[in-house]
């Protein structure tokens, strides 16, 4: 059965427009409340959010729905997504909810659920909640609500306990005007680092705007010109991190996986189809197998569990260390990677040099119906021709899980060849969209 509202990362959309209207979110809260009440006695649900101006509206509607089904609601306030996941497990809650659209612009928002172990709800649970949306709800049971005053402190204490000493380290940090704007600097400072933090003044509308892990250009200049040891850029909800070396060069999630795989002697690594071929080649040389999945951290997580491995992630900087946390955590990933760098004794720049990347171009094409375009036989034939013309290259065309986009990724031996193929596939996508 196909999911109607839940995508690869919760229910997403433009805040105030279907499906993220207050009326729908109220019903979603009722459906989720009915589900959790059927699976736990006197369930407690934690709610956290990022810094978007629409967060309060959606939080109020969702909480009202949950309360109407007898659920106890604990408001965590602004907290990174992994912080909500951690506290859901640590406090023994029936579920956790994050109101965030991650790296998307401020007008977007989303609602993502975690189960009692701090992991994302399985597809079966989301389908059951969607089915419950069709029923009428009794409001005979009324829950209670509380503001959890210690949520941020508990999460910071957890991260500090996981991190190495950072004494003497000069770190530039970009918190994307998002959920890590307090947590990130405080954690690094408590571990002894000298921190220069930017984009730490959220106003509800500036989250991810020209900053964060998707726009690290300012941070790159700051690191290089300010002679910092490295830079750290988080995304809006704090589950991703991108690093910057002394020379101002980016170290993506692929670099993070490579560093930790070699230093921590991983038995294998899980990555998505978007990870660069350079990572696969270098891991193979080190005798470490790479397993690829569809794009999405839930698929990385499932493959890690299936293979019994603990290290996996995405090129975007969403990395999982299942021996430390049940979900991706940008601050934790930065700390564990710094720990690996300190153990190895070389700076980040040496690892950037050690992992040559194949030329890769990703183009996002906005379309009216992403699924119709991606499933069209003409696009499949264009992809087949493109792959045949790329010697040792890769082509990946897929619908975005969160936006009305078709993502075209091409990787190959030369940048000229890659850009030629991307241009041709982009043309095909636009033509098919125009035929709708």
Tokens for 403, please give them. 């936006």
CATH H-level, domain 360-434: superfamily = Alpha-D-phosphohexomutase, C-terminal domain (3.30.310.50)
Average pLDDT, the chain: 95
> CA–CA separation, 156 vs 176, rounded Å?
18
Domain spans in the chain, listed from the N-terminal domain onward: 11-149, 153-354, 360-434
Return the structure tokens found at 28. 């979603």
102 is in an annotated binding site: yes
Give the residue among 85, 152, 350, 336 at the shortest CA–CA distance from 232. 336
What does the alpha-carbon distance between residue 407 and residue 429 come to, in Å, rounded to a whole number? 10
CA–CA separation, 152 and 84 (whole Å): 10
Report the CATH fold assignment for 153-354: Alpha-D-Glucose-1,6-Bisphosphate; Chain A, domain 3 (3.40.120)
E runs forming strands in 336-385 = 360-366
What 8-state DSSP symbol labels residue 91? T
Same fold, 153-354 and 360-434: no
Q: Quick one: CATH architecture of 11-149?
A: 3-Layer(aba) Sandwich (3.40)
Q: Token pair for residue 113?
A: 């659920």
Q: Would you place residue 1 in the very low, low, confident or very high pLDDT band (cuts 50, 70, 90)? A: low
Contact 94, 40 (CB under 8 A): yes
- The pLDDT tens digits for 43-68 are 999 999 999 999 999 999 999 999 99
Structure tokens at 266: 């991983």
Give the pLDDT confidence of 21-32 residue by residue, as tens digits.
999 999 999 999
pLDDT digits (tens, 9 = 90+) for 78-136: 999 999 999 999 999 999 999 999 999 999 999 999 999 999 898 899 999 999 999 99
Residue with tokens 């955590």: 329
Residue range 307-348, pLDDT digits in tens: 999 999 999 999 999 999 999 999 999 999 999 999 999 999
Q: Is 237 labelled as part of a ligand binding site?
A: yes
Per DSSP, which regions of 163-322 are E strands?
Answer: 170-174, 194-198, 230-234, 241-244, 250-251, 269-272, 290-293, 311-313, 319-321
The answer to whether the annotation marks 353 as part of a ligand binding site is no
Catalytic amino acids? 102
Within 42-182, strands assigned E span 44-49, 72-78, 95-99, 108-114, 145-147, 170-174
* pTM for this entry: 0.90
């Amino acid at each position: 059965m196909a999911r109607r509202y839940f995508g690869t990362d919760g229910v997403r959309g433009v805040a105030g427009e279907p499906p993220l209207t207050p009326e729908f979110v109220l019903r979603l809260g009722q459906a989720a409340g009915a589900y959790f009440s059927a699976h736990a006695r006197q369930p407690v649900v934690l709610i956290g959010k990022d810094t978007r101006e629409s967060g309060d509206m959606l939080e109020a509607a969702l909480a009202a729905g949950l309360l109407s089904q007898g659920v106890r609601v604990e408001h965590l306030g602004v907290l990174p997504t992994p912080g909500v996941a951690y506290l859901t497990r640590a406090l023994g809650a029936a579920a956790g909810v994050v109101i965030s659209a991650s790296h998307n612009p401020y007008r977007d928002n989303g609602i993502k659920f975690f189960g009692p172990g701090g992991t994302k709800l399985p597809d079966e649970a989301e389908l059951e909640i969607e089915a419950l949306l069709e029923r009428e709800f009794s409001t005979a049971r009324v829950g209670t609500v509380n503001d959890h005053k210690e949520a941020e402190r508990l999460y910071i204490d957890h991260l500090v306990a996981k991190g190495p000493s950072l004494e003497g380290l000069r770190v530039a940090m970009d918190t994307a005007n998002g959920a890590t704007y307090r947590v990130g600097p405080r954690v690094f400072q408590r571990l002894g680092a000298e921190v220069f933090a930017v984009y730490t003044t959220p106003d509800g509308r500036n989250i991810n705007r020209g900053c964060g892990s998707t726009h690290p250009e300012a941070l790159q200049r700051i690191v290089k010109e300010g002679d910092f040891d490295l830079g750290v850029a988080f995304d809006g909800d704090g589950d991703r991190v991108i690093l910057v070396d002394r020379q101002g060069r980016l170290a993506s999630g692929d670099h993070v996986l490579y560093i930790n795989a070699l230093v921590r002697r991983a038995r294998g690594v899980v990555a998505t189809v978007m990870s660069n071929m350079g990572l696969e080649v270098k891991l193979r040389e080190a005798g470490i197998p790479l397993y690829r999945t569809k794009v999405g951290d839930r698929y990385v997580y499932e493959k890690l569990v299936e293979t019994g491995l603990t290290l996996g992630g995405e090129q975007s900087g969403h990395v999982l260390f299942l021996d430390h946390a049940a979900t991706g955590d940008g601050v934790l990933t930065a700390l564990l990677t710094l720990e690996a760098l300190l153990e190895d004794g070389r700076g980040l720049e040496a690892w950037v040099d050690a992992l040559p990347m194949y030329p890769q171009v990703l183009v996002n094409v906005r379309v009216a119906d992403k699924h119709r375009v991606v499933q069209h036989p003409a696009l499949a034939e264009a992809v087949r021709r493109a792959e045949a013309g790329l010697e040792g290259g890769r082509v990946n065309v897929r619908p975005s899980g969160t936006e009305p986009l078709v993502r075209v990724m091409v990787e190959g031996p030369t940048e000229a060849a890659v850009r030629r193929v991307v241009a041709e596939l982009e043309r095909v996508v636009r033509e098919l969209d125009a035929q709708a």
